[in-house]
Structure 1
Amino acid sequence: MSDTDDSGVLVEHETKTGDQSAPAVVVSDDEVEALTVDEKIDSGPGKEEDDDAAATDDEAKPQALQIVSIGSEKDAYAFKFEEEKLQAILSRVPVGWDVSIVSVVGAFRTGKSFLLSWFLRYLYQVQADQKSDATNTEPWYERIESLGNEGFEWKAGSDRNTTGIWMWSHPHFIETGKEHPTAVLLVDTQGMFDHETTMSLTASIFGFSTLLSSYQIYNVDKRIQEDNLQQLALFSEYARTAVNDGIEESKKEGDDNDLPKPFQKIEFLVRDWQHFEDEEDDEDCEAMEKSMEKYLQTAIADRDAKDLQDTRQQILSCFANVTCYGLCHPGLAVTKKKFSGDVESIQPLFMHLLDRYCKRVFSPDNLEAKVIHGRTLSAAELGSYIQAYADMFASGAKFPTAATLLEATASANNTNAVHLAVTAYKEEMDRIAGPRCSNYVRPEELQEEHGMIRSKALTVFESVATFGSRNSIDQAKGKFLDQVEDNFQVYESLNTGRNPLAGMETYLIPLAIAAVSAILRWFTDLTCSSHSATCRASSEVLHHIYMVVFFFLLIVGATKAQQIKQILTRFRTALEVMSDGSSKNTKND
């Protein structure tokens, strides 16, 4: 594998073999559910989904879902974001788990959907092998009779098949050595460079896929051509400018070499590579893989012509890791329209290389969580970015300016900053005065806790909102503070409801009336003459008053015994609160 050093020179790293070729550890949906305590994860047909963004019955079965549809020439090929479908997918990722997005982009009819369907077969087969107690030494692909069309839709022939952007509905969870497995999302894209796709639409599809992915596979035919590099550089330079401008504007410092590269990994997958040996043993395959790395070094090496040199520098300055792999031709049978996925019709060498490539792509050493501006994104944050990027093309597939891309990225980043900060505030306040709390907190103490927790949450916001203009960050900060105050009013209301003195006037007022009536009657009986009609009438009235109150309280007590018990408990708590307050005031004095 290769990446670039600080000077922009391609650096070759040792390509791992042997252990790297071991199958990925794919965690089953049942194991994911067992690992999560607070979140309910839907794992396919037959299980209930409690989340509001859950898939419909038709979407419960694992399948490719279109998250972005693309219009026609009449509406300038406008992108339409399918929010419900994306949320149905992302809702299956447990909160706090990393997300890796493997996306395939390239010319039409070069086997992108075909490749992704094999990725799915590999992941499902490895998962099945891990759940089985039986030891099976037979390669996974030799146990498959036909690829079928149950994955990403594909077909042989020359007509375009995939339109828009598609994502597999169920994440695959792969152990990467971290606390939790990484959720892997597979993305298929509309083919480019056909007679129906304009250059603007081509750039838009390529750009959207690159913004979305953490592992971008650039599917090229037979060799890496100069136009492949130029198409990649076209979008990359705009993106690099936007990201760098955004960071510089928010930090007002730093030189270009210190800025993070906007994208993580690009891998040129050369299809129908013709320079392979016919042997299938691992030693020859390892030699082939090393030759592909050397081929990449040659293809992307510096050129004398300035425009060719600029193209390569743009690519190297935008991607943290640039690699290359090759697959031989799968056989003439695969190119025929009647081909339906029969594995026996596929060249054995292709299947052997495909096996090695699947293990390479889904190796823990190669899988990276999606990162933007140095921050690893959660599934919810990823959804905000995807929506922001899709909205850039909502009015037509026109290649976005750097300013537009900057604005979209900054908007999504600020939205995520507000969400994370408010969530941090609510988590702390829930422990003090949330719905599950039973203790009453004195108002001045609650206000003090609110101030401290708000300051901590503000620190969270400022640590995330580091991208974009100061004005946009300040606006997001205002939204955060408004949401915090709105939430605090809710906590105040909940706390007031737990006030031990609240509602006691219903019982204390009648008791006070009865007590006053009894005292007045005793006083009138003591001071008035027994022969006075007025005194006798007053005494009887007072007697009736406290008797009515007595029977009223008796009836209430009989019907609301449990509430009376709670009132007595509140009364005792109130005495403790008042006693505690008095002792604190004494200490302060």
Structure 2
Amino acid sequence: APVCLVSIIGEQRRGKSFLLNYLLRRLRSPDARDGAWMGRETEPLEGFEWRMDEQRVTKGVWAWSQPFWVPAKGKKVAVLLVDTEGSMDIEGNKETSIKLSALSMLLSSYQILNIGCRVKDPDLEYLEMFLQVAEVVGKEYGLEPIQHLDLLVRDWSTSLVLGAQGGEQHLKHIRQMLEATTPCKHPKALEALKRSSSRCYLMPLPGKRITMGSEGTLRDMDEDFQESLRDYVTALVSSASQHVRTDCHGALLTGTQLAAKIQNLSDVMKKHRFGFSSPCQMAVTFHNQRVLDRARTDHAVFLREK
């Protein structure tokens, strides 16, 4: 079956797992209307492990154990959710960030880049690296580097305009800022953000009760945050069937085919534990491995034909 894989990556302690758990609630209640899927006012948030404190919770990459099926023009699409260890922090390992970025890009057809407060230069620098890795992975595995990209800005407080409308304005400002520098400081990021498949969404602060140790209940959220969360999750799930994973030629990938590519990438990473200090180094490592694999295949064919 076709697969829509929603993956989230970004800074640690910025509510990535929290968001995915509300996506879980929506996917578990496909027929619910008017926000009823969000649950009871006092219902604790469960699913991917999460908590509100300074210590990271998610380590590595975690996929939810079962797909959720959504209708799509007479057939069904399997929606999978993937949580990723927080990155972009001073305690983090750059090599680990590159590996996680590569795996996230290989997996996803709907990529969320989770950002705090506003899109800053370090975020664009990270996105630039992220895109370099995506191109490397895409070229070696026959995958489109990015099918859909959401810049999800959390804790927005700069203006009163939120959601997709505010995000469109913020994204326009970012593009203008990047275009104003010569040469462009982050050319790949600018190119990606100009695509129709990229968008920005602004979420306000969740409220003190959420950030001070809440169980993630609706009762503890500020009203504008709850509304923003509901709208974002609803829109994402409604469009999931339009974001199925394809290869670089536009052919649909099944879950089995995608799993094979993931396994191959994981094997390369295990073989070259110290070969990913930069996107360029990663490109060389992947290229060398593919050349070696082709040589082995050609040699095996030669021996059989003798």
TM tier, smaller:
0.7 to 0.9
Q: In the alignment, which residue of structure 1 is the partner of 2:182?
A: 305
Alpha-carbon shift at residue 404 of structure 1 (Å): 3.0
Q: In the alignment, which residue of structure 1 is the partner of 2:284?
A: 403
Q: In the alignment, which residue of structure 2 is the partner of 1:266?
A: 149
- After TM superposition, the score normalised by the length of structure 2 is 0.84
Matches within 5 A, 1:183-194: 183-194=78-89
**1: CA distance between counterparts of 2:153 and 2:110?**
16
* Structure 1 counterpart of 2:150, one-letter code: E
Do structure 1's residue 120 and structure 2's residue 24 form an aligned pair? Answer: yes
Structure 1 SS opposite 2:54: coil
**2: CA distance between counterparts of 1:402 and 1:142?**
43
Q: In the alignment, which residue of structure 2 is the partner of 1:226?
A: 121
Q: Specify which structure has the bigger relative contact order, considering alpha-carbon pairs within 8 angstroms and separated by 6 or more residues.
A: 2
Alpha-carbon shift at residue 290 of structure 1 (Å): 2.1
Task: Give unmatched runs, 5+ long, in structure 1.
Answer: 1-96, 130-136, 248-259, 278-283, 411-467, 483-589
Report the CA distance shift for 1:405/1:193 in structure 2 as closer, same or farther (over 3 A).
Answer: same
Structure 2 SS opposite 1:393: helix
**2: CA distance between counterparts of 1:148 and 1:406?**
47
**2: CA distance between counterparts of 1:351 and 1:294?**
22
Structure 2 SS opposite 1:396: coil
Q: In the alignment, which residue of structure 2 is the partner of 1:158?
A: 54
Alpha-carbon shift at residue 405 of structure 1 (Å): 3.1
**1: CA distance between counterparts of 2:51 and 2:61?**
17
Report the CA distance shift for 1:348/1:262 in structure 2 as closer, same or farther (over 3 A).
Answer: same
Aligned pair count reads 295
**2: CA distance between counterparts of 1:169 and 1:112?**
17
Q: In the alignment, which residue of structure 2 is the partner of 1:42?
A: none
Answer yes or no: is the 8 Å Cα contact 1:162–1:191 preserved in 2: yes
Report the CA distance shift for 1:406/1:382 in structure 2 as closer, same or farther (over 3 A).
Answer: farther
Report the CA distance shift for 1:206/1:382 in structure 2 as closer, same or farther (over 3 A).
Answer: same
Do structure 1's residue 198 and structure 2's residue 93 form an aligned pair? Answer: yes
- After TM superposition, the score normalised by the length of structure 1 is 0.46
Q: In the alignment, which residue of structure 2 is the partner of 1:361?
A: 236
Matches within 5 A, 1:415-426: none
Answer yes or no: is the 8 Å Cα contact 2:3–2:255 preserved in 1: yes
Among all aligned residue pairs of Structure 1 and Structure 2, give the percentage whose two residues are the same amino acid.
Answer: 27
Report the CA distance shift for 1:142/1:196 in structure 2 as closer, same or farther (over 3 A).
Answer: closer
Report the CA distance shift for 1:219/1:242 in structure 2 as closer, same or farther (over 3 A).
Answer: closer
Answer yes or no: is the 8 Å Cα contact 1:117–1:147 preserved in 2: no
* Structure 1 counterpart of 2:65, one-letter code: S
Do structure 1's residue 329 and structure 2's residue 205 form an aligned pair? Answer: yes
**1: CA distance between counterparts of 2:164 and 2:90?**
34
Structure 2 SS opposite 1:121: helix
Alpha-carbon shift at residue 263 of structure 1 (Å): 2.0
**1: CA distance between counterparts of 2:246 and 2:296?**
20
Answer yes or no: is the 8 Å Cα contact 2:144–2:247 preserved in 1: no
State the structure with more CA Rg. Answer: 1
Structure 1 SS opposite 2:197: strand
Structure 1 SS opposite 2:14: coil
**1: CA distance between counterparts of 2:38 and 2:232?**
16
Alpha-carbon shift at residue 108 of structure 1 (Å): 0.4
**1:292 corresponds to which of 153, 157, 167:** 167
Residue by residue over 1:401-422, the C-alpha shift from the partner in whole angstroms, topping out at 9 and shown as x without a partner, is 21333466x6xxxxxxxxxxxx
Question: Alignment RMSD, CA only?
Answer: 3.1
Alpha-carbon shift at residue 174 of structure 1 (Å): 0.6
Answer yes or no: is the 8 Å Cα contact 2:62–2:84 preserved in 1: yes
Structure 2 SS opposite 1:104: strand
Task: Give unmatched runs, 5+ long, in structure 2.
Answer: none
* Structure 1 counterpart of 2:187, one-letter code: D
Answer yes or no: is the 8 Å Cα contact 1:104–1:216 preserved in 2: yes
**2: CA distance between counterparts of 1:320 and 1:119?**
23
Answer yes or no: is the 8 Å Cα contact 1:172–1:184 preserved in 2: yes
Q: In the alignment, which residue of structure 2 is the partner of 1:110?
A: 14
**2:110 corresponds to which of 209, 215, 228:** 215
**2: CA distance between counterparts of 1:365 and 1:149?**
22
Do structure 1's residue 100 and structure 2's residue 4 form an aligned pair? Answer: yes
Residue by residue over 1:208-255, the C-alpha shift from the partner in whole angstroms, topping out at 9 and shown as x without a partner, is 2112111010000011111111112113224425655888xxxxxxxx
